[in-house]
Each structure stands twice: as C-alpha cells, then as structure tokens.
Amino acid sequence: MLAIVGAPSLDALVDETIPSAIRLKSPLDLPGGLSEHQYLADLERLASRNRVCKSYIGMGYYDCVTPSVIVRNVLENPAWYTPYTPYQAEVAQGRLEALFNFQTMVRDLTGMEIANASLLDEATAAGEAMAMLQRVQAKRPGQAQGAPQCFVADSCFPQTIDVLRGRAEPLGIELVVASLTSARFDAQTFAAIVQTPDEAGRVHDLRDFISSARAQGVLVAVATDLLSLTLLVPPGEMGADVVFGSAQRFGVPMGYGGPHAAFFATLDKHVRQIPGRLVGVSKDAHGDLAYRMALQTREQHIRRDKATSNICTAQALLANIAGFYAVYHGPRGLTAIARRVHGLAQRLERELAALGTRQLNGVYFDTLRLESNSVDKVREAALASGMNFRYRPDGDLNVAVDETTCEADVQAIVAAFGGTGSDDGQSDSVALVSYPPPLARTTPFLTHPVFGAYRSETNMMRYLRGLACKDIGLDTSMIPLGSCTMKLNAAAEMLPLTWPAFSRLHPFAPAGQADGYHQLFRELAGAICQITGFAAVSLQPNSGAQGEFTGLMVIRAYHHDQGAADRDVVLLPTSAHGTNPASAVMAGMRVVPVGSSPGGEIDLDDLSRKAALHHDRLAALMVTYPSTHGVFEEDIQQVCAIVHAHGGQVYLDGANMNAQVGLTSPAAVGADVCHLNLHKTFSIPHGGGGPGMGPIAVAAHLSAYLPGHTQAAVGGSKSIHATAGAPWGSASILLIAYGYIRMLGAEGLTNATRYALLNANYIKSRLEPHYPVLFARSNGRIAHELIFDLRPLKQASGAAAIDETDVAKRLMDYGFHAPTVSFPVSGTLMVEPTESESKEELDRFCEAMIAIRGEIQAVIDGRADPHDNVLKHAPHTAAAVSADQWSHPYGRQHAAFPLAFVRERKFWPSVGRIDNPYGDRNLVCAWTDAEAYAAESRERD
C-alpha cells in the first residue's frame, strides 16, 4: 500500500500528512491495550461494583422486558446496529419500514396526526416542542410585543424543566413555571407545556386546560407516557398541538440514562416545522411503494441556520426496538401489560392503605404518591431489600411499578412500609378498577395488521431477518461515507451492553449503587482529556449536535461571566457541517460566514476582516479539523490565534477526530472546546441513525461552566443548565467507547489513526487517475477522507448528465453503500474508508469505482444510450433483472453482476430508484394511510 501511495514508511506518510507544528510531542499517556478476553474479565469486575436494585423511581425511566427475540435479532445484531442514517433509501428499506412502524405506533397511541422518527430524549423533545411552537406562532399575524413567554407546568419532570430553562434563555423566551391550575396566559404567551401522567404520577384531564389555552391563542404541548395511553384518553383527543415523551419502556433497557428514543407527534398542519427526521413513502422506478426520509429541506444539512432543529443523529435503533416491541405485542398485548401495571399499582395502594399509608394521587397509572411519617425507616428497609423509591423534596414518596414488577415485588414494597408482606395467594390477575369514562380510552389504536401479525417468535424472527436483508450495514460491506467514520463496532465492545449490571440501572438511583459506572466515567473522561489535551469533560450530550449546543452554551456562560454578555457572533467557515449554524442559532448566536480559499482552506484574510469587524461581539469560531474538505490545514494555529486576539473562543467540531487521535489534538491546534462524536471515532455504532454520543471537552478556563443536572452532582461550579435529560447522557453506550480505548490502548489508538490516513491516501492514489480529487495539501496528501468531483463528468456526459447520484445508486449494484453525496461540496462524493477496512475491501471498492468510471465513459463516448443506461437505471432489483421482459440496450449480467467479486456476495437492492419529489409532494408518514396511498398511486399510473 505504501508503494502505491508513494511513501517510504507509515511514519513518513504521517509526517507528510499532518503539519509538524501541531504534532503531539509525546505519545498518549494511556495504559497499553488489552485482549478482548482480558478486557471482558476486567469489565466484569467493574460490573460487580454496580448494584442492581429494583428501581421504582419513575421520572421517565422504567424497568422493562426486552423480548428475547428483539435482543438477539435487533439489539445484538450488527445488521441493525451498524448501518448509517437511511439517506440512501434504496439500501435501507428494512430500517425505514421499522421506523415507519414506530411513527405509526406513536401517532396511534398519542392520538395525533403525524409523528417523527424519534428525538434524543424526552427533555430535549420538550425543548424542540417549545422551539417549534414558537416558529408556528411567529407566523401568526398580530404578534404581541415583548419577550415571548412559554408556560411550563411545574408538574413536568424536573429534568425536563431544567433543560427547557437552558433552551429558553438564549432564544429570549421567558419561561413561566407554575402549577397547572394557576396557569395564566399573557398576550405574549405562545405555548404551554404540561404533562400527564405528571411527575408525581397524577393523570390529568387536560380538555378544559387545552381549550382555554387555545381560546387565548396559546398552543399546547403535552408530555406523556405511551404505555398509559393504551388505557387513557390520549392528549391528541384532548386537543394537544404536540405530544412528546420517551418510548424507553417499550423494551429499551434503562441503561443508567440511555440511550432511548424520544417520540414527537403533532398535527399535519405543522409538518413543515417538525424537528428531526421523518420517514415517508414514495414509489420507485417500477411504481412500487418504497420508504424514504421525507421533507429533508427542514433539516440542518440543507437549511442550516434556518433549520427546524440542530438534530442530526437521533435514536433510530432504540425507536426501532420500541416499534418492534409494539409489533410483537400488538394492541392487545400492550393493553394487557398496561392493565397489569395499573392493577399492581392499585393493589399496592390497597395494601398500603390497610397499613394506614395515604396515597395522594387521585387518578394515576403506575405511580403512587405516598405520605409517610417514617420516610427514613422506609428508605432504610427498602434499601436493605434492594429497592429504590423516589424520595421527594416535599417529604412524600413516589413508587412507580412497571412491566417487570410481580406479586412478590408488591409484597416486598409493602414490607418496607412495615406490612407483614404476607402473600395472600392472589395471583397477578388483580381486579382492575377501570378509569372513569372521561379518562378511559375508547378509540382503537395499532389497527394496522403489522401490529400483531408477528406475535410468535418464529414469525417475529423471520420478519426481523427479512427487513435486515434489505439494508447495507457494516456486516455487508464497507460503508465509505465521508465525515461519518463507519468503522468496526467490535463485538467485545458491544457484549456488555446487555449485562444487567449495566442495563438495569436507573439514572437517578443513589450514586453508591453505580460505583462501577462512576469509575468508568472517570477513566473515560480522563482518557478523553488525554486524547484532546483538554482539562475537563462533560459526558452529558447525546449527539454531536447536542455537544455543539452544549459547548456554545459553555462559551456563552464564560463570556457572560467575563462581563461580555453581548459577545454573540459565531464565525463559521462556509464548509461547516449544517449542525454548526443550527446549533449556533439555538445558542442565541448570530452566524457570520467565513469564506474558503480556492484550495479549500479557511480564507485567512476574510477571517481576519470579519473577526476585526465584530471585535467587540465575537463569541467564537466553529471549525472542523481536519477540515470538512479532508485536509489538515497548515494555518490552523494562526486561525485560532486570530480569533483569540479578538476575544473569541475556538470551538473545534470533533467530527473528524479519527484523523487526530494520538498524532495531534484539539488543544494542540489551539482550540478551547471540542465535542467528540463517540459514534464516529470511538466505535459506538450508528444504529441506523442513532444512538450517538457527543461529550465535550474544555480547557481549564471553561470547566466551571460544564452542564449540571437537577438529580445528580455533575458539572462545574457555575454550571449551565442540563442539556440532556440524564446526567451522563446515554451512559450505557459509553461502555463501547470505553472498551475501544481500553482494548486498543495508547499505541493501538494511535495506530488506528495512522491506518485511517493510509487507507484514505491509498484510495486517493488508486482513484485519482479516474476521478479528480478536490482538495489536498500542497504535497498532495489528504487526511482521513477525500472528495471526488463528479461535476466535470456531468458536464462531459452532456444530455445524459451523469451525476453524483447516479454513481451513488450504481455502487449499490456493486454491493456498496454510497459515499457522502454532495457534502461539503455540491456535485461531489466524499469517501472515508476508516482504519477498519482491509486492503482487499479497499481494492474491491476502487475496482467498483473504476468500473463505474468506464460506464460513464461509455455514455460520454456515445457507446451507451444517454438515458437508457446502467447508471440511470441503477439500482437494479432482482425482480427487474429477472423479469420476463427486458428492454434495455445493456445486458442483465452487466446490470446485476458487473464485476466478478459481486457474484460472490451479491447484495440485491429491494427497490429501484426512488422518486423523491413524488414522496414530498404526496406526504404519508404512517401506516393505514400508506395502503390507501399505494392503491392511489397505482391508479394514477
């Protein structure tokens, strides 16, 4: 490989690639690597330091049963956890259908009209609801003067209110937190956010509240619990504009805080304002129904600072698990689970009443609010028998039962309150006192056949396999997505996720029960400091974009503390990820773009000019390094110095950290803050579009501002509000990054970077004779990724206009997922091989690209028809290739088996080229509508 690259050694290549001024002077000070066996043995010791208690704390996190068929075939299956976000829909029909199930489930249970494909967590979903309703209301004529106000019921979860405070302040929204019954709306009030069942477990009939709010022009968002909605009238039927919450208890382990999928549902008329991803249907080239991501113009990669949210990574894997949980149980199964949970809560209430313990919730689902004059004794007894209750600041207790609670558990709870705990022999089938008519749900839900058609394990297993076969994951072939770092997610890193000692901990359990987790947090934070060169870390942010928001809020707090509250300008290179401007706007900043030189580097003159122009207002520069153009810019230290000279801070977007680890660092280039996409560089799988983790690391002067949390001692001495619902974000998947670091060790981590650079430069050397490469250092070296320019070929192919999309779709016929299309430069493909790919796989990819280049040349030379050719009709499905009719001028073999290696492991795209405009013009985002749609589109054709 080095011979082809033209470098005498790997060290020499690295020297040619990374400017010497920013190279680390010494190797990482981290322990050596461990074998998988050693690591897992070591981790078992760590696990043994976590104590798994029965947690009846509630507050949005409930123990649950992940059906084994879902554990084995989804959660632990690389076919589901390794794919990327389904932008290339033709090779993602399996998980798109699964997300479509999730959207349908959410729509049905909430009683709303449309649901998205998940958000990061319940607390941030509340923030998204607030921002969306403000946008909706801003379009309303006759806006009131003064600061916009948002009412928030004080009976929302405390972590939700805390996140809302942090989101409201930079947007200039005044948050009015008060009791539901004392709500008063001003002319400036644009929205109200309320919750049922609420933080204490009370169920509210919100009809009067909502109708009164709407009469005053106030839109209402309701946080709720999906399981309870199988029995209770859903907020949608009470007139809510937005309904959101967590789908965690639908089969997703608590995991000490996450990851879990939040859900978000609203009315059709707000569809263009929805945050996050939305799966819709369209038709493919053959007129058949196909799934795709809809209305992408809402998203940050297109609309940037005007996007509906900075959300990029969501929680696809967890949404899919929740959706499959509903598919497996069906409406009757879910109702039975809910009835049992509610019945156990009722039984517990009766037994505690017999002991003289008062229960204060009038109507509840699963959570009792108990008055006790001997809380300390109860706490002691509960802990002694391994139980956590919620001890409220007001002196009461909450006990929330869940799907895993059994009769013996109820008796143990009763015993902790001083009861005898005698089992009277009654089984689980406790008599259920039904909800009174105004609250009892009467409308059907999950009526589509998919919910209930797979209630046997045999059927479910085959359904899951059938879907998985439609998708390209890392278990299929290399996924060369530039900027996405699709590297191996090692099985040994993944295994411990389902160990109960990690999966069954409640995030608000007493810290002493999670010593193992806390040691892991300390070691991981220490390693991140070592790798980034920074002083302190917050593990809270659940995605890269959330890390950006958190980092900018930390910078903002720093400036405020320095008496420079009006520093609100963020300089952004035009090549920045779309999340950067979207996050900056959320943090109350103004975006000022900085241009690029023709070579793709930041234009230093433009930067200096703009930094000087905004000298008194400069808050920060956001910069990706190596740049989104895939180059280690020579001037990066000068860039940082210019910003510092004008009083700004430098935020380094760690998306490209895979090219830095062990060789250079954000601190070495001169930055003050960075986030790390643990789901890129540190091996957390992409899950088909989430989970992710975006912890931030900061220099010492910023450490005091790291985010706090209402339920745990985290953050600095002047902490900003929490930016996620859980104190340590998606704690359970930190295990994966931890395993990656422990098993590779200092040398292995650094070698990973070196091989990533080698692989990218190898691809450049092999493909540069065939496709122009856009950016490189003056010596021709690139970092860990590179951009192929397809525009000259489009030009040369004349009327055929062969473009980057044609190449992306044609690669599917060769068994590959496309590179990143049209980012950061329109009309290009960006390739990142990562260190995980072997020379053999790189060669197969290069051969595919070279063969496609030949196919393009045939069009250019007129040897292939400009419109009826292998590129324009790609991808080719098995049905199309084997059809009795074949009318194309090229052969079937050429269509489906263009190279010898393809035959050995043929991947068949399940649908043909998808008609994207048709799907956006005829938007359908849930089942039932989809069938009518398919019938209608057949009629139209």
List of residues contacting another protein (CB under 8 A): 141, 272, 296-297, 302-303, 822, 916-917, 920-921
In the bound state with another protein, the residue whose beta carbon lies nearer, of 272 and 358, is: 272
Question: Do the Cβ atoms of 487 and 753 come closer than 8 Å?
Answer: no
In the bound complex, what is the minimum distance in angstroms from residue 926's beta carbon to another protein? Answer: 19
Closer residue to another protein (CB): 37 or 139: 139
Separation of CA 548 from chain center: 14
In the complex, minimum distance from the CB of residue 790 to another protein, in angstroms, rounded to a whole number: 15
Closest to another protein by CB, 312 vs 699, is 312
Q: Which helix (H) or strand (E) holds 129?
A: helix 122-138
Does an H or E element contain 698, and which?
A: strand 696-698
Three-state DSSP state, 456: coil
Min. distance of Cβ 315 from another protein in angstroms?
25
Q: Residue 836, Cα to own-chain centre: how many angstroms?
A: 23
**Smallest distance, Å, CB 485 to another protein?**
24
Between residues 143 and 429, which has the closer beta carbon with respect to another protein?
143
Kind and range of the H or E element at 183?
A: none
Say if CB 229 and CB 259 are below 8 A apart.
no
User: What is the C-alpha to C-alpha distance for residues 68 and 325, in angstroms, rounded to an integer?
Assistant: 11
Number of Cβ atoms within 10 Å of the Cβ of 266? 29
Structure token pair of residue 416:
């902790």
| C-beta closer to another protein: residue 435 or 918 | 918
We find the least distance from the C-beta atom of residue 939 to another protein, in angstroms, to be 16
CB of 916 to another protein, least distance (A): 4
Query: Which residue, 186 or 920, has its beta carbon nearer to another protein?
Result: 920
Class of residue 769 by CB neighbours under 10 A (exposed 0-12, middle 13-18, buried 19+): exposed
- C-beta of residue 476 within 8 angstroms of C-beta of residue 80: no
* Residue 479: partners with Cβ closer than 8 Å, 6 or more residues away: 83, 84, 472, 473, 486, 816, 817
For the bound state, the minimum distance from the C-beta of residue 610 to another protein, rounded and expressed in Å, comes to 23
Q: Residue 110 or 308: which CB sits closer to another protein?
A: 308
Minimum distance from CB of 917 to another protein (Å)? Answer: 4
Q: Which residue has tokens 């009939």?
A: 205
Sequence length of the chain is: 941
For the bound state, the minimum distance from the C-beta of residue 731 to another protein, rounded and expressed in Å, comes to 37
Nearer to another protein, 141 or 425 (CB): 141
C-alpha–C-alpha distance, residues 857 and 851, integer Å:
10
Q: Tell me whether residue 85 or residue 681 sits nearer to another protein (CB atom).
A: 85
Q: What strands lie across the sheet with 673-676, from one edge to the other?
A: 536-538, 696-698, 673-676, 649-654, 618-624, 569-573, 590-594
Which residue in 197, 226, 245, 254 sits closest to 64, CA to CA?
254
CA dist., res. 229 & res. 265, Å (int): 14
The residues near 418 (Cβ < 8 Å, ≥ 6 apart) are 355, 374, 377, 378, 381
Residue with smaller CB distance to another protein, 751 or 922: 922
Query: Biggest alpha carbon distance in the chain?
Result: 90
> Between residues 161 and 281, which has the closer beta carbon with respect to another protein?
281
If the CB atoms of residues 217 and 510 are measured against another protein, the closer one turns out to be: 217
Residues 796 and 801: their CA atoms lie apart, in Å, by 8
Residue 303 beta carbon to another protein: minimum distance, rounded to whole angstroms: 6
Q: How far is the CB of 915 from another protein (least distance, A)?
A: 9
Q: Is the CB of 767 or the CB of 821 nearer to another protein? A: 821
Yes or no: say if 390 and 367 are a contact pair by the CB < 8 Å rule: no
Q: Which residues contact 458 (CB under 8 A, 6 or more apart)?
A: none
Distance CA 389, CA 387 (A): 7
By C-beta, is 136 or 552 nearer to another protein? 136
| Closest distance to another protein from the beta carbon of 940 (Å) | 13
Given 3-state DSSP classes, what are the helix, strand and coil percentages for the chain, each rounded to the nearest 5? 45, 15, 45
Q: What are 106's two structure tokens?
A: 């959410």
Q: Which is nearer to another protein, 12 or 302 (CB)?
A: 302
Return d(Cα 473, Cα 92) in angstroms, integer.
9
3-state helix/strand/coil string of 50-117: ECCCEECCCCCCCCCCCCHHHHHHHHCCHHHHCCCCCCCHHHEHHHHHHHHHHHHHHHHHHCCCEECC
Contact 815, 905 (CB under 8 A): yes
Judging by beta carbons within 10 Å of its beta carbon (0-12, 13-18, 19+), is residue 826 exposed, middle or buried?
exposed
CB of 508 to another protein, least distance (A): 42
- Nearer of residues 303 and 888 to another protein, judged by Cβ: 303
Q: Write down the number of H helices and E strands in the chain.
A: 31, 25
What single letter denotes the amino acid at residue 509? A
Cβ-based nearer residue to another protein, 653 or 915: 915
Contact 666, 534 (CB under 8 A): yes
- Which ranges constitute the DSSP H helices of 577-705? 579-586, 604-613, 636-645, 666-669
CB-based contact 86:910 (threshold 8 Å): no
Closest distance of CB 83 from another protein, Å = 22
Fill in the DSSP letter of residue 721. Answer: P
Q: What is the DSSP string of 296-334?
A: GGGSHHHHGGGSS-S--S--HHHHHHHHHHHHHHHHHHH
CB of 920 to another protein, least distance (A): 4
414/409 Cα distance (integer angstroms) = 9
Of 382 and 924, which has the nearer Cβ to another protein?
Answer: 924
